[in-house]
């Protein structure tokens, strides 16, 4: 019996099972099945360990036994605050095995205080953490603070073979977080040989060959809640998204089928394990039975090196990751990206030049749209052309539906060719927000569609084009301006590698558009040249930016998305000084 209140509806569930979107598998039983049939095949890899399916399943059982010994009950929450290491995946699978709820979305740039507050909100019963990890790890002790929580039953320390994050202060998290030398140790270092002792208040992480005899009976219910991910929280407190094994695996099954992944695929997740993109990677690896490679780099190694060394064939990340990898490839004069044949990109617009550069390398770009609430539900297909890949997010995957609703009244369908709010429903959808009835019910329209808060339009073939967030909408004197339209056109400029349009306050008009760009390879970009380009590529004179600035880099989230609210604040407090520009047609 589940002790967590959710949106699970038996009638809806029966239809998902009948259509094959939901099945009897769980994350754990898939891993265990691979261990039984392909025990020696590789399953999971970081910079120091490479586990086969048998080793992975055995370690998961030992971890489940340790959680049971700590006194956890089914449905209780297990938090993971770790870098990209195999232990983080082991914990997720242990939760699936025993009916616990894994919360992996504690990012590296969080402070101990923020992590403790989030754990308290969900009444966490266990924490897995590493000394020296986090924004204020040198001055705060998460182990002692976690032990003080009334709900806490077990705090586990993942021993660091070397000082992890030794260069974290030198690299902005998200922009090049993968370049922080996390797993710098030799694979010959014995497991648990830490550079600093385990905190007195913490339990050691279970050994890979630890005793699993006391592990509880396997929870084979695929409809139990197994995953709780905090939303990015751009306004107010982040919400806790709830998923079952089935809502997660429905996404993995669809992507594996549509893109023909199999046991020979080597999947590299560039995104951190605290982000939902990496969860989608785990889903696909379990469904396909392929090896999952984590973004855990040895000292001095770049993502390009790791991709080549591991033989990755499929890379998952955001466009920022793709741009950086292509730039490194160009600097080195390399003509191939190892064995890669597919590059998944989600979270923002794919620059056309990036897509074409991949196609020239024999790599198919995959444009993705989704959220923690519904996974990577919208994507382009292998036979889509360049225009479709760069200008749309494709169509909804098997088991899911997408429909546009009136931007002002989400209970009314949008008219044909009208920009509308994106609504979705289906087998991939979350089962509600943890302990938040108001947020859960207010996320749906009167017809039961989950409203994303994003605006889009459908092209003639039913492909979804993202226009922007409703909250990102810039309103200039009552005229609606969509930032993504400006950004997409700006990215077609040969000297622009990244672009962000954001509002600057105006006493008369309310808001004016500022366009910020990052030049390609140190090129010089002038504001008026960009306006000429925007005009030539079809931007209305009424949507033209009125402020412009070129920056060396953008502030980014943990997953590599541009933090526009930071750009707005920088402009407001004078940290940056965009120039005033005005478009006028040449006579």
- Greatest mean pLDDT range, 44-53, 463-472, 516-525: 44-53
- Greatest mean pLDDT range, 19-23, 113-117, 179-183, 464-468: 19-23
Give residue 198's pLDDT: 67
Per-residue pLDDT at 18 exceeds 70: yes
Pick the closest to residue 302 from 325, 284, 273, 281 (CA basis). Answer: 325
Give residue 56's pLDDT: 98
Per-residue pLDDT at 276 exceeds 90: yes
How would you classify residue 95: left for phi > 0, otherwise alpha for psi between -120 and 50, otherwise beta? alpha
Per-residue pLDDT at 162 exceeds 70: no
CATH class, domain 27-38+46-220, is alpha beta
Give helix 276-288 / helix 245-259 axis angle, nearest 10°: 70
Least confident of 5-19, 226-240, 477-491, 558-572: 226-240
Give residue 347's pLDDT: 76
Per-residue pLDDT at 88 exceeds 50: yes
Structure tokens at 336: 């191939």
Give residue 352's pLDDT: 81
Least confident of 188-202, 209-223, 332-346: 188-202
Task: Provide the pLDDT confidence category of residue 241 given band limits of 50, 70 and 90.
Answer: very high
Give residue 2's pLDDT: 75
Give residue 463's pLDDT: 96
Give residue 560's pLDDT: 77
Give residue 191's pLDDT: 38
Confirm or reject CATH 3.40.250.10 for domain 1-21+245-427+451-470, answering yes or no.
no
Give CATH for domain 473-580.
Answer: 3.30.300.30
Structure tokens at 296: 């855990």
Residue ranges covered by each domain of the chain: 1-21+245-427+451-470, 27-38+46-220, 473-580
State the average pLDDT over residues 527-555. Answer: 94
By the 8 A CB rule, do 572 and 505 touch? yes
Least confident of 35-39, 272-276, 508-512: 508-512
Kind of pairing between the strands at 266-269 and 479-481: unpaired
How would you classify residue 574: left for phi > 0, otherwise alpha for psi between -120 and 50, otherwise beta? left
Per-residue pLDDT at 468 exceeds 80: no
Task: Provide the pLDDT confidence category of residue 189 given band limits of 50, 70 and 90.
Answer: very low
Task: Provide the pLDDT confidence category of residue 442 given band limits of 50, 70 and 90.
Answer: very high
Q: Chain-wide mean pLDDT for the chain?
A: 90
Give residue 171's pLDDT: 26
Looking up tokens 């620059």, which residue turns up? 351
Percent of the chain scoring above 90 in pLDDT: 76
Q: What is the pLDDT of residues 95-126, one digit of tens each?
A: 999 999 999 999 988 889 989 999 999 999 99
Distance (Å, rounded) from C-alpha 188 to C-alpha 186?
5
Give residue 174's pLDDT: 28
Q: Do domains 1-21+245-427+451-470 and 473-580 have the same CATH topology?
A: no
By the 8 A CB rule, do 379 and 399 touch? no
Per-residue pLDDT at 32 exceeds 80: yes
Give residue 574's pLDDT: 96
- More reliable by pLDDT, 353 or 378: 378
Give helix 276-288 / helix 27-37 axis angle, nearest 10°: 40
For 65, 144, 215, the CA distances from 69, given in Å and listed in that order, are 6, 20, 8
Structure tokens at 379: 């994507």
Task: Provide the pLDDT confidence category of residue 197 given band limits of 50, 70 and 90.
Answer: low
Residue 82 contacts by C-beta under 8 Å, 6 or more apart in sequence? 88, 128, 129, 130, 133, 158, 273
Give residue 542's pLDDT: 86
Kind of pairing between the strands at 364-371 and 420-426: unpaired
Task: Provide the pLDDT confidence category of residue 181 given band limits of 50, 70 and 90.
Answer: very low
Least confident of 239-253, 263-277, 494-508: 494-508
Q: Read off the pTM.
A: 0.84
State the average pLDDT over residues 523-543. Answer: 93
Pick the closest to residue 374 from 416, 332, 425, 415 (CA basis). Answer: 425
Q: What is the pLDDT of residues 378-434, one digit of tens each?
A: 999 999 998 899 889 999 999 999 999 998 899 999 999 899 999 999 999 999 999
By the 8 A CB rule, do 90 and 210 touch? no
């Amino acid at each position: 019996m589940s002790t967590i209140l959710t949106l699970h509806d038996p009638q809806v569930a029966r239809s998902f099972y009948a259509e094959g979107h939901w099945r009897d598998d769980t994350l754990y039983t898939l891993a265990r099945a691979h261990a039984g049939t392909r025990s020696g095949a590789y399953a999971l890899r970081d910079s120091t360990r490479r586990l086969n399916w048998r080793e992975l399943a055995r370690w998961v059982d030992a971890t489940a036994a340790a959680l049971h010994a700590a006194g956890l009950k089914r449905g209780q929450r297990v938090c993971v605050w770790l870098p990209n290491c195999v232990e983080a995946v082991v914990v997720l699978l242990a939760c699936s095995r025993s009916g616990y709820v894994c919360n992996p979305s504690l990012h590296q740039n969080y402070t101990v205080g923020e992590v403790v507050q989030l754990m308290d909100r969900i009444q966490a019963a266990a924490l897995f953490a590493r000394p020296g990890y986090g924004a204020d790890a040198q001055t705060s002790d998460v182990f002692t603070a976690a032990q003080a929580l009334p709900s806490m039953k077990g705090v586990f320390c993942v021993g660091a073979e070397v000082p992890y994050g030794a260069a974290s202060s030198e690299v902005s998290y998200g922009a090049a977080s993968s370049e922080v030398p996390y797993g710098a140790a030799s694979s010959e270092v014995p497991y648990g040989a830490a550079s600093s002792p385990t905190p007195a208040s913490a339990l050691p992480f279970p050994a890979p060959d630890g005793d699993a005899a006391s592990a509880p009976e396997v929870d084979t219910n695929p409809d139990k809640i197994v995953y709780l991910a905090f939303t990015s929280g751009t306004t107010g407190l982040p919400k806790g998204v709830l998923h079952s094994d089935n809502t997660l695996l429905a996404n993995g099954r669809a992507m594996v089928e549509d893109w023909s992944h199999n046991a020979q695929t080597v999947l590299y997740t560039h995104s951190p394990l605290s982000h939902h993109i990496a969860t989608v990677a785990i889903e696909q690896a379990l469904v396909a039975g392929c090896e999952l490679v984590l973004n855990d780099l040895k000292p001095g190694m770049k993502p390009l090196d790791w991709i080549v060394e591991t033989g990755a064939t499929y890379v998952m990340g955001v466009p920022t990751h793709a741009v950086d990898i292509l730039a490194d490839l160009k600097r080195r004069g390399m003509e191939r990206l190892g064995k890669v044949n597919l590059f998944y990109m989600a979270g923002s617009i794919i620059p056309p030049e990036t897509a074409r550069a991949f196609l020239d390398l024999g790599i198919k770009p995959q444009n993705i749209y989704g959220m923690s609430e519904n996974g990577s539900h919208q994507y382009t297909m292998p036979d889509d052309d360049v225009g479709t890949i760069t200008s749309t997010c494709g169509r909804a995957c098997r088991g899911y539906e997408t429909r546009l609703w009136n931007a002002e009244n989400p209970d009314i369908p949008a008219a044909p060719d009208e920009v509308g709010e994106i609504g979705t429903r289906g087998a991939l959808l979350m089962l509600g927000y943890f302990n938040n009835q108001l947020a859960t019910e207010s996320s749906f329209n009167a017809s039961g569609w989950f409203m994303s808060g994003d605006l889009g339009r459908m092209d003639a073939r039913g492909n979804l084009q993202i226009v922007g967030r409703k909250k990102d909408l810039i309103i200039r004197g009552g005229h609606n301006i969509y930032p993504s339209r400006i950004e997409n056109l700006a990215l077609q400029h040969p000297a622009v590698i990244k672009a962000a349009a954001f509002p600057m306050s105006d006493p008369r008009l309310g808001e004016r558009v500022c366009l910020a760009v990052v030049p390609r390879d140190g090129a010089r970009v002038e504001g008026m040249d960009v306006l000429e380009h925007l005009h030539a590529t079809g931007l209305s004179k009424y949507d033209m930016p009125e402020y412009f600035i070129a920056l060396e880099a953008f502030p980014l989230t943990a997953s590599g998305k541009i933090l526009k609210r930071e750009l707005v604040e920088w402009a407001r407090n004078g940290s940056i000084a965009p120039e005033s520009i005005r478009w006028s047609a040449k006579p």
